[in-house]
């Protein structure tokens, strides 16, 4: 019985693999990773050079920490992460390093980013009720809608991990009525991305 279940699982995995290979998902993921690699390297190197030769980032972050309230920064971040990631989350990750409780604030940021994506999912569902918005999004985000429909969970994971607005993946998932439970589950990879970026940025910010 156990061997039969194991064989069935292998057959299912093979079918899924063949499907993703046939639809071009692996190539899409590979191209996305290649595009993401150099921007990450450029951002880190640029941050180091800017901090060394142009302006002391630590002083700027200290000013932000002293000028704006913690709640104000967190609310701004949540709104940004809900509305297509308008402000790069790396800025907020760097800010968290300058606070009294870096790990706590980083954890809150990761949670807010995750919740922002889930909120974007429902905005996607709601947008379908507005004809003009629906037509606009379907034209501007046709590729995202198509890919999310084909590749589902793996695209949510890619959106959570790669330096692309997580909210876009969740928004498009909502527009095609992708199962919310799967978005909740696979969106958890967002926390891994924040941990990775923090490990890089915390070494730059004192």
Global pTM?
0.71
d(C-alpha 151, C-alpha 155), whole Å: 6
Distance in angstroms (rounded) separating the CA atoms of residues 3 and 33: 36
Residue-level pLDDT at 43: 62
Residue for token pair 């589902």: 152
pLDDT of 110: 96
Please tell me the predicted confidence (pLDDT) of residue 200: 86
User: pLDDT for 55-99, tens place per residue?
Assistant: 666 666 667 767 778 898 999 999 989 987 778 888 899 899 888
Per-residue pLDDT at 153: 76
- The mean pLDDT values, 10 residues at a time, for the chain of 206 residues are 61 68 65 60 67 64 74 91 83 89 95 95 85 66 61 77 81 83 93 92 80
167 Cβ contact partners less than 8 Å away, ≥ 6 residues apart: 81, 82, 83, 84, 85, 116, 117, 120
- The confidence score (pLDDT) of residue 62 equals 64
């Amino acid at each position: 019985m156990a061997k039969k279940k194991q064989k069935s699982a292998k057959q299912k995995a093979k079918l899924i693999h063949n499907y993703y290979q046939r639809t071009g998902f692996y190539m899409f993921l590979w191209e996305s990773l290649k595009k993401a690699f150099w921007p990450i390297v450029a951002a880190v190197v640029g941050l180091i050079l800017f901090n060394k030769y142009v302006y002391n980032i630590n002083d700027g972050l200290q000013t932000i920490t002293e000028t704006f309230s913690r709640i104000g920064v967190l609310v701004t971040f949540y709104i940004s992460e809900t509305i297509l990631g308008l402000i790069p989350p790396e800025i907020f990750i760097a800010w968290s390093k300058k606070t009294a409780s870096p790990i706590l604030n980083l954890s809150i940021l990761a949670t807010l980013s995750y919740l922002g994506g889930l909120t974007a999912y429902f905005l996607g569902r709601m947008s379908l009720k507005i004809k003009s918005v629906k037509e606009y999004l379907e034209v501007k985000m046709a590729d995202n809608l198509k890919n999310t429909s084909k590749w589902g969970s793996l695209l949510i994971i890619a959106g959570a991990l790669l330096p692309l607005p997580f909210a876009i993946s969740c928004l498009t998932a909502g527009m095609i009525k992708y199962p919310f439970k799967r978005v909740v589950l696979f969106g958890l990879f967002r926390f891994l991305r924040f941990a990775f970026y923090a490990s890089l940025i915390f070494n730059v910010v004192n």
